[in-house]
């Protein structure tokens, strides 16, 4: 019995037990480092990183024609000479759907300032029409089909993901590209004279 009336037991910590604790801490640090690196890579993927557009991609865009929801052919040259937001999307794409209210609000606030916006659906026309009955937007929607996929790729969407947003200034220069959900604040910052 000890002088406090309790049996004191002391035990030595072996080098093996010390090494196990060190290994656990090293493993935890490595896992944390990997998580930080992967998280940063994911975050950077979502950010607007200017990607080179193909030669003459903007000119080809304005020379193209797509179809609206009523089946009428729309000449994209009507958007030339004005700041333009082009959003490639699909009705089955959750981030596309999430950004649409912001895009709609942005267009309402800026259409009288000469800023144009067009959504290009890379989806089945019937699915697009049904989706827009439930979730109407204030900006024009065109049906892109395979031609829309080629336009998206030529404007910098090399990964082929959605949503993909491009902003052209009035001279036709690409001033913003983003693969992933674009916020209202990002649009306001990216579009010339939309402040």
* For the chain, percent of residues with pLDDT exceeding 90: 67
Query: 157: which 2 tokens?
Result: 């969407």
pTM greater than 0.75 (yes/no): no
Supply the pLDDT for residue 163: 98
Q: How open is the CA angle 124-120-175, to the nearest 5 degrees?
A: 155
Supply the pLDDT for residue 51: 56
Choice among 50-64, 113-127, 147-161 with the minimum mean pLDDT:
50-64
| pLDDT (mean) for 31-44 | 56
The residues, any chain, with a CB within 8 Å of residue 4's CB and separated by 6 or more, are none
The residues, any chain, with a CB within 8 Å of residue 139's CB and separated by 6 or more, are 103, 104, 107, 111, 117, 118, 119
Supply the pLDDT for residue 7: 56
Supply the pLDDT for residue 26: 74
Query: 14: which 2 tokens?
Result: 């072996």
Model confidence band, residue 56 (pLDDT cutoffs 50, 70, 90): confident
Supply the pLDDT for residue 195: 57
| pLDDT (mean) for 77-87 | 97
Fold held by 57-190: Glutaredoxin (3.40.30)
- Expressed in percent and rounded to 5, the helix, strand and coil fractions of the chain are 45, 15, 35
Supply the pLDDT for residue 142: 98
Supply the pLDDT for residue 155: 95
Query: 99: which 2 tokens?
Result: 């950004």
pLDDT surpasses 80 at 38? no
Model confidence band, residue 10 (pLDDT cutoffs 50, 70, 90): low
């Amino acid at each position: 019995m000890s002088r406090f009336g309790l049996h004191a037991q002391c035990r030595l910590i072996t080098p093996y037990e010390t090494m196990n604790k060190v290994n656990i801490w090293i493993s935890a640090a490595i896992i944390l480092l990997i998580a930080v690196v992967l998280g940063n890579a994911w975050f950077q993927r979502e950010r607007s990183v200017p990607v080179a557009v193909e030669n003459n991609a903007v000119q080809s865009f304005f020379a193209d024609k797509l179809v609206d929801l009523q089946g009428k052919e729309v000449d994209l040259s009507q958007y030339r000479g004005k700041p333009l937001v082009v959003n490639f999307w699909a009705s089955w794409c959750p981030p596309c759907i999430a950004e649409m209210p912001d895009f709609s609000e942005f267009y309402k606030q800026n259409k009288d300032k000469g800023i144009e916006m067009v959504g290009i659906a890379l989806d089945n026309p019937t699915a697009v029409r049904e989706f827009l009955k439930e979730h109407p937007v204030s900006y024009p929607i065109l049906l892109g089909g395979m031609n829309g996929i080629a336009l998206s790729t030529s404007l910098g969407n090399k990964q082929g993901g959605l949503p993909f947003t491009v902003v052209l200034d009035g001279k036709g220069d690409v001033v913003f590209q983003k693969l992933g959900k674009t916020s209202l604040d990002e649009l306001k910052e990216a579009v010339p004279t939309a402040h």
